[in-house]
Amino acid sequence: MSDNKVILNYDGKAFEYPIIESTIGDRGIDISKLRDQTGLITLDLGYKNTGATISDITYLDGDNGELYYRGYPIEQIAEKSNFTEVIYLLLNGSLPTSDQFAGFEKGIKKYNFVADEMKRLIDVFPRSAHPMGVLSSLTSALTAFNPKAVDVTSKEDMDHAAEMLIAKFSHLCAWTYRKKMGLSINHGDDSLNYVENFYKMCFRRPNQEFHLDPVVVGALDKLLILHADHEQNCSTSTVRMVGSAHTGLFASVSAGISALWGPLHGGANQAVIEMLEMIEKDGGNVAKYVEKAKNKDDNFRLMGFGHRVYKNFDPRATIIKKAADDILNSLGIEDKALDIARQLERVALEDEYFVSRKLYPNVDFYSGIIYRALGIPTEMFTVMFALGRLPGWISQWKEMRLHNDPIGRPRQVYQGAQKRDYVEMNQR
Ligand code: SDX
The DSSP secondary structure of 135-186, one letter per residue, reads HHHHHHHHHHH-GGGSS--SHHHHHHHHHHHHHHHHHHHHHHHHHHHT----
Considering just the CA atoms, what is the radius of gyration of the chain in Å? Answer: 23
User: With bands split at pLDDT 50, 70 and 90, how would you rate the model's confidence at 407?
Assistant: very high
pLDDT the model gives residue 245: 95
Enumerate residues 6+ apart whose C-beta is below 8 A from 140.
Answer: 250, 251, 254
Name the helix (H) or strand (E) containing 389.
helix 381-402
Task: Assess contact for 319 and 221: CB atoms under 8 A.
Answer: no
Report which DSSP code applies to 41. Answer: -
Over residues 395-416, the mean pLDDT reads 97
Q: Please state, in angstroms and rounded to a whole number, the distance separating the CA atoms of residues 183 and 197.
A: 17
The model's pTM = 0.96
Catalytic: 227? no
Residue nearest atom 15 in ligand 1 by C-alpha distance: 265
Q: Yes or no: say if 258 and 323 are a contact pair by the CB < 8 Å rule.
A: no
- pLDDT score of 1 more than 70: no
Q: Which pLDDT tens digit goes with each residue over 157-194?
A: 999 999 999 999 999 999 999 999 999 988 889 999 99
CA distances from 33 to 17, 42, 127 (A): 8, 12, 52
Are the beta carbons of 348 and 359 closer than 8 angstroms? yes
Q: Is 307 a catalytic residue?
A: yes
Nearest to 172 by CA among 124, 224, 109, 112: 112
Kindly state the helix (H) or strand (E) to which residue 69 belongs, with its residue range. Answer: strand 66-69
Ligand 1 center from residue 308 Cα (angstroms): 6
CA distance 81 to 95: 10
**What is the predicted pLDDT for the residue at 401?**
96
- Atom 47 (ligand 1): residue with closest C-alpha? 357
Does the CB atom of residue 260 touch ligand 1 within 6 A? Answer: no
Amino acid at 64: N
The residue from 314, 364, 405, 421 that is catalytic is: 364
Asked if residue 360 has its Cβ within 6 Å of ligand 1, the reply is no
Helix (H, G, I), strand (E, B) or coil at 350: coil
Distance CA 67, CA 24 (A): 12
Q: Is 310 in the pocket of ligand 1 (CB under 6 A)?
A: no
Q: Find the helix or strand (DSSP H, E) in which 395 lies.
A: helix 381-402
Report the candidate in 189, 207, 209, 206 with the shortest Cα–Cα distance to residue 198. 189
Any ligand 1 atom below 6 A from CB of 268? yes
- Ligand 1 pocket member 315 (CB < 6 A): no
pLDDT tens profile 319-361: 999 999 999 999 999 889 989 999 999 999 999 999 999 999 9
Q: Which atom of ligand 1 is nearest the CA belonging to 48?
A: 32
User: What's the mean pLDDT in 255-275?
Assistant: 96
Amino acid making up residue 232: Q
Q: Where residue 223 falls among pLDDT bands split at 50, 70, 90?
A: very high
Tell me, using a 6 A CB cutoff, whether residue 316 lines ligand 1: no
Q: Burial level of 51, CB count in 10 A (0-12/13-18/19+)? A: middle
Other beta carbons within 10 Å of 128: 7
Contact 85, 96 (CB under 8 A): yes
Q: How many percent of the chain have pLDDT more than 70?
A: 100
Q: Tell me which of 301, 384, 389 to substitute to probe ligand 1's pocket, judged by most ligand atoms within 8 Å of the beta carbon.
A: 301
